[in-house]
């Protein structure tokens, strides 16, 4: 029996607008990094989120790396971040020679501000400098900045917002990307919008934006020959990628609306399924990048892994939630503050197909297959 075509978790949603933009960039002759498409993409993204300055970079990871440098994080510093995140957040902290201190989650996956405060106090009392706090907007829900920003202020620690997953989301009327001293976006292929690969740093601080641009272009001094005083990086975005990003940005509200529709459909569907709830969120605020269920096996009688394997056999991609960083072999020696909330989310969660290009028949197929699975358990 031929398998149905694969339904992916969050594939790129690209079409004629993106094709036209990429061809435009190629025809213009600006296929090298930088150029007018990059400048325009920065201006348009800054306007969309309401940030003063935007620097387009080669990835979200590069943006995190340079964001930490722009905040003055030093080797040996501690940096407080969420244990529930993609490894890039923690790796960027390691790139600058700092040590991540991982903090446990609230039930929506974002880090617990009370534990953040404990972590900052403990580090500072032991004489360790805390270089930054890095909240992560997990799965497109903005972290609780109303609680985190006062901690930053009280203890004198800057905030780098990892908004890689939350472009277009808001919380308490404030847009992702405008919170913290610097914020970072990702345009990786599976994100809410893509440049095939890319990222951006946003800030209201002109000097920090200038410094990040400088570091991202090999820290070249503004003289006619190649003069370098500082260690730099080749982290800028290419013109072709920026053109793609501009087309995606013009469609972003419509793409977010479609992801929210899918979230609503999952909510309705699972409302009647015992032992299953959706990862808590807010449909009016979150960008609904991924929609995830939490399964209480003692009630449902089946595990998220069993559903994952069943759907995989039907060519439907799903994925466990992020494995917490303090459980990763790479970070086994890192400090961790908290209990088992993130660990329980990891074991009970499953992210379901959530892409904005998913058609209605594909969504019907996903729900039909889940129904067949539920009948078989």
Q: Where on the chain is the footprint of ligand PLP (CB under 6 A)?
A: 59-61, 85-86, 88-89, 136, 162, 164-165, 186, 188, 199
Nearer residue to ligand PLP within complex by CB, 88 or 142 = 88
Nearer residue to ligand PLP within complex by CB, 86 or 270 = 86
Comparing every residue's Cβ against ligand PLP, the nearest one is: 60
Within 10 A of 118 (CB to CB), how many other CB atoms are there?
A: 15
Smallest gap, in angstroms, from Cβ of residue 41 to ligand PLP? 15
Q: Which residue has the tokens 């901690």?
A: 151
Nearer residue to ligand PLP within complex by CB, 241 or 363 = 241
Nearer residue to ligand PLP within complex by CB, 60 or 353 = 60
Contacts of 38 (CB under 8 A, 6+ apart): 56, 236, 237, 238, 239, 242
Q: C-alpha distances in angstroms, 150 versus 123, 125, 147, 155, 327?
A: 17, 19, 6, 9, 29
Nearer residue to ligand PLP within complex by CB, 141 or 262 = 141
> Closest by alpha carbon to 95, among 75, 125, 72, 115?
75
Q: In the structure, how many helices (H) and strands (E) does the chain have?
A: 12, 13
Interatomic CA distance for residues 150 and 79, integer angstroms? 17
Residue 347 CA, chain-centre distance (Å), reads: 20
Smallest gap, in angstroms, from Cβ of residue 134 to ligand PLP? 9
CB 183 within 8 A of CB 161: yes
Interatomic CA distance for residues 120 and 99, integer angstroms? 13
Smallest gap, in angstroms, from Cβ of residue 185 to ligand PLP? 8
Nearer residue to ligand PLP within complex by CB, 321 or 370 = 321
Smallest gap, in angstroms, from Cβ of residue 165 to ligand PLP? 5
Nearer residue to ligand PLP within complex by CB, 189 or 232 = 189
Q: What does the block give as tokens for 267?
A: 């909510």
Smallest gap, in angstroms, from Cβ of residue 226 to ligand PLP? 27
> Closest by alpha carbon to 8, among 353, 340, 255, 293?
353
Smallest gap, in angstroms, from Cβ of residue 263 to ligand PLP? 18
Smallest gap, in angstroms, from Cβ of residue 294 to ligand PLP? 19
């Amino acid at each position: 029996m031929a398998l149905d075509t694969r339904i992916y978790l969050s594939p790129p949603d690209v079409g004629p607008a993106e094709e036209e933009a990429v061809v435009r960039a190629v025809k213009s002759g600006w296929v090298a990094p930088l150029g007018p498409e990059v400048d325009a993409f920065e201006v348009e993204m800054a306007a969309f989120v309401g940030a003063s300055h935007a620097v387009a970079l080669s990835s979200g990871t590069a943006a995190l790396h340079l964001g930490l440098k722009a905040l003055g994080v030093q080797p040996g510093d501690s940096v407080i971040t969420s244990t529930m995140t993609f490894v890039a957040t923690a790796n960027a902290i390691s790139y600058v020679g700092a040590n991540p201190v991982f903090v446990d989650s609230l039930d929506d996956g974002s880090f617990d501000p009370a534990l953040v405060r404990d972590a900052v106090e403990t580090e500072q009392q032991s004489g360790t400098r805390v270089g930054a706090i890095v909240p992560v907007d997990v799965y497109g829900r903005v972290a609780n900045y109303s609680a985190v920003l006062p901690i930053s202020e009280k203890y004198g620690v800057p905030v780098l917002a990892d908004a890689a997953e939350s472009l277009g989301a808001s919380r308490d009327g404030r847009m992702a990307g405008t919170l913290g001293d610097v914020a970072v976006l990702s345009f990786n292929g599976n994100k809410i919008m893509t440049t095939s690969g890319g990222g951006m740093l946003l800030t209201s601080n002109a000097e920090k934006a200038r410094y990040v641009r400088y570091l991202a272009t090999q820290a070249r001094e503004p003289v006619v020959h190649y003069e370098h005083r500082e260690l730099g990086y080749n982290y800028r975005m290419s013109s072709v990628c920026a053109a793609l990003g501009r087309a995606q940005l013009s469609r972003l509200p419509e793409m977010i609306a479609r992801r929210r529709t899918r979230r609503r459909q999952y909510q309705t569907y699972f409302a009647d399924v015992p032992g299953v709830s959706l990862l808590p969120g807010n449909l009016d605020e979150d960008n609904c990048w991924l929609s995830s269920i939490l399964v209480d096996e003692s009630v449902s009688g089946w595990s998220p892994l069993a559903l994952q394997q069943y759907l995989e056999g039907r060519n439907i991609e799903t994925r466990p939630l992020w494995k917490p960083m303090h459980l990763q072999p790479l970070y086994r020696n890192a400090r961790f503050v908290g209990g088992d909330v993130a660990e329980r989310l990891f074991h009970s969660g499953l992210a379901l197909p959530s892409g904005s290009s998913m058609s209605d028949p594909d969504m019907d197929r996903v729900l039909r297959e889940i129904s067949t699975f539920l009948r078989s358990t």
